[in-house]
């Protein structure tokens, strides 16, 4: 929401931004559980970004990923990927213990057994997340304090610990509750 407010709302070069998703629940895009619906309500409906610059993660929109510049391995190289952190240490729709964490070739995976509802999702894979120029992980709330501490220690059991851009930056933006203040 802050990106839609001054000074960001006026200063960002919205005409040069293209918006993609790192994951999406397989629900209608207008469903309140949709990441796209949440992003529209919080940001996209309040800034001058053109509809043809916004690519919700749906099976129909997956070819749009071909327009993202590629790294040397042929993976999409996003300038910035914005992620969250779940209480269980998941990020995107990459959950602890999931076979999706082992994927090395695919760009997007269909998940059918996510432990949080709904179980059907689409997600970018770790190699794509790690190809980004910058990854921002937003963490808020005391309920995520333990997961954040474990990710910062790089606990291999937590998927978010495996987000380590190969040739990019990793930044955490946290609130006081998440760090125990």
Main-chain phi, psi angles of 69, to 5 degrees: -55, 150
The CATH class that applies to domain 68-181 reads alpha beta
Sign of CA dihedral 58, 136, 174, 42: negative
Instruction: Quote the mean pLDDT of the chain.
Output: 96
Q: What is the pLDDT of residue 135?
A: 98
Q: What is the pLDDT of residue 2?
A: 76
Can you tell me which residue has the tokens 């690519």? 55
pLDDT digit string (tens) for 105-154? 999 999 999 999 999 999 999 999 999 999 999 999 999 999 999 999 99
Can you tell me which residue has the tokens 């990927």? 81
Collect the ranges in the chain with pLDDT lower than 70.
none
Domain layout of the chain by residue ranges:
1-58, 68-181
pTM comes to 0.94
The reply to whether omega before 7 is within 30° of 0 (cis) is yes
Q: What is the pLDDT of residue 10?
A: 79
Q: What is the pLDDT of residue 3?
A: 80
CA of residue 118 relative to chain centroid, distance: 17
Q: How many CB atoms lie within 10 A of CB 15?
A: 9
Q: Name 87's Cβ contacts closer than 8 Å, sequence gap at least 6.
A: 143, 144, 146, 147
The answer to whether 129 touches 22, Cβ cutoff 8 Å, is: yes
């Amino acid at each position: 929401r802050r990106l839609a407010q001054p000074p960001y709302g006026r200063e960002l070069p919205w005409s040069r931004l293209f918006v993609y998703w790192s994951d999406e629940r397989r629900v209608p895009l207008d469903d309140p559980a949709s990441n796209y619906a949440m992003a529209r309500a919080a940001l996209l409906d309040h800034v001058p970004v053109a509809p043809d610059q916004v690519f919700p993660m749906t099976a129909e929109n997956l070819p749009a990923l071909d327009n993202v510049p590629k790294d040397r391995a042929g993976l999409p190289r996003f300038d910035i990927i914005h992620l969250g952190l779940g209480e269980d240490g998941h990020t995107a729709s990459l959950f602890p213990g999931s076979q999706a964490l082992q994927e090395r070739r695919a760009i997007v995976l269909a998940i059918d057994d996510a432990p949080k509802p709904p179980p059907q999702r689409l997600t970018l894979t770790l190699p794509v997340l790690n190809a980004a120029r910058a990854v921002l992980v937003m963490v808020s709330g005391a309920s995520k304090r333990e997961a954040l501490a474990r990710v910062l220690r790089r606990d291999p059991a937590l998927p978010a610990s495996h987000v380590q851009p190969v040739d990019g930056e990793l930044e955490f933006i946290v609130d006081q509750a998440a760090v125990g203040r």
